[in-house]
């Protein structure tokens, strides 16, 4: 019970503006990039999308795994939900100010990912935002969800060549690993501690966050990458 309280406290701290600015957390970066957007399409929104912390009037979530979608619905994170495959949904061009893909790209085959990115760029009026591990990271099935399997890896260089600004996330990559490589991951799936490689985990989380101050500007050494592309009108 005590550890659950600590994990919830960590989640709350990650949403604080000052700490977000200092450590360039995902929530802070997403809020900054979505500032001024009136609508966002959240593809593969999962059960606890960080878009919940962003002040965007219209939020549409797409999720294929029903338990995740129902969990997100209970939290009322989005205004509208679509139960469907992100590779098969269709929208009219320029339907949303922003289209985001948070921790989803790695679950698709490379060809699927490239096609989806092109679609995202056509659906967005202002920008496309995506996050993914830095390179291939092996991950097996989690939460009894076969879609959690990792099928591809994406590098800083290839996304930069596609016109994206790329920033480092989650600190130095050596300090973290795949959730499926950790025997204790079932304790709590969604938190910043869940990929920490070493024990004591809270200590190494602090170390990881301190390295984030540097790896944000040096994404080649980071565990994850945060990528943004402005779409030409």
Structural domain total, the chain: 1
Is 106 among the domain residues? yes
Is 162 among the domain residues? yes
Residue 174: pLDDT over 60? yes
221, exposed or middle or buried, with CB in 10 Å at 0-12, 13-18, 19+? middle
Is 192 among the domain residues? yes
The CATH number linked to 127 is 3.40.50.150
Residue with tokens 């893909």: 101
Contact indicator for 40, 96 with CB cutoff of 8 Å: yes
Residue 7: pLDDT over 60? no
- The structure tokens listed for 117 are 């990115």
Contact indicator for 77, 50 with CB cutoff of 8 Å: no
Tens digit of pLDDT for each residue in 126-162?
999 999 999 988 877 566 666 677 889 999 999 999 9
Residue 201: pLDDT over 70? yes
Q: Which residues pair with 229 in a beta bridge?
A: 128
Is 8 among the domain residues? no
* Domain residue limits at 208: 21-230
Residue 2: pLDDT over 60? no
CA distance 193 to 11: 10
> For 166-171, what is the mean pLDDT?
96
CA distance 76 to 90: 23
CA distance 37 to 198: 39
What pTM was computed for the model? Answer: 0.87
Residue 113: pLDDT over 50? yes
Residue 13: pLDDT over 70? no
Is 41 among the domain residues? yes
What pLDDT was estimated at residue 10? 58
Model confidence at 29, pLDDT cuts 50, 70, 90, reads very high
Is 153 among the domain residues? yes
> For 25-45, what is the mean pLDDT?
95
CA distance 91 to 19: 36
Is 5 among the domain residues? no
Is 6 among the domain residues? no
Contacts of 68 (CB under 8 A, 6+ apart): 45, 46, 47, 143, 145
Residue with tokens 């939020």: 59
What pLDDT was estimated at residue 115? 98
């Amino acid at each position: 019970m005590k550890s659950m309280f600590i994990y919830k406290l960590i989640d709350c701290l990650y949403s604080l503006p000052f700490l977000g600015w200092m450590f360039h957390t995902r929530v802070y970066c997403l809020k900054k990039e979505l500032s001024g957007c009136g609508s966002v399409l959240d593809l593969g929104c999962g059960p606890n999308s960080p878009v919940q912390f962003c002040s965007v009037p219209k939020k549409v979530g797409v999720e294929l795994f029903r338990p995740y979608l129902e969990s997100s619905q209970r939290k009322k994170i989005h205004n509208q939900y679509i139960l469907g495959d992100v590779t098969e949904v269709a929208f009219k061009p320029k339907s949303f100010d922003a289209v985001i893909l948070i921790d989803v790209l790695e679950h698709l085959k490379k060809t699927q990912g490239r096609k989806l990115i092109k679609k995202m760029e056509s659906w967005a009026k202002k920008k496309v935002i995506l996050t993914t591990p830095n390179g291939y990271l092996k991950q097996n099935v989690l939460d009894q969800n076969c879609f959690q399997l990792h099928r591809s890896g994406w590098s800083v260089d290839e996304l930069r060549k596609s016109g994206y600004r790329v920033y480092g996330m989650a600190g130095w990559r050596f300090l973290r690993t795949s959730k499926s490589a950790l025997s204790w991951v079932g304790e709590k799936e969604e938190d910043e501690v869940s990929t920490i490689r070493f024990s004591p985990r809270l200590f190494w989380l602090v170390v990881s966050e301190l390295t984030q101050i540097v790896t944000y500007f040096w994404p080649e050494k980071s565990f994850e990458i945060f990528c943004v592309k402005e779409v030409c009108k």
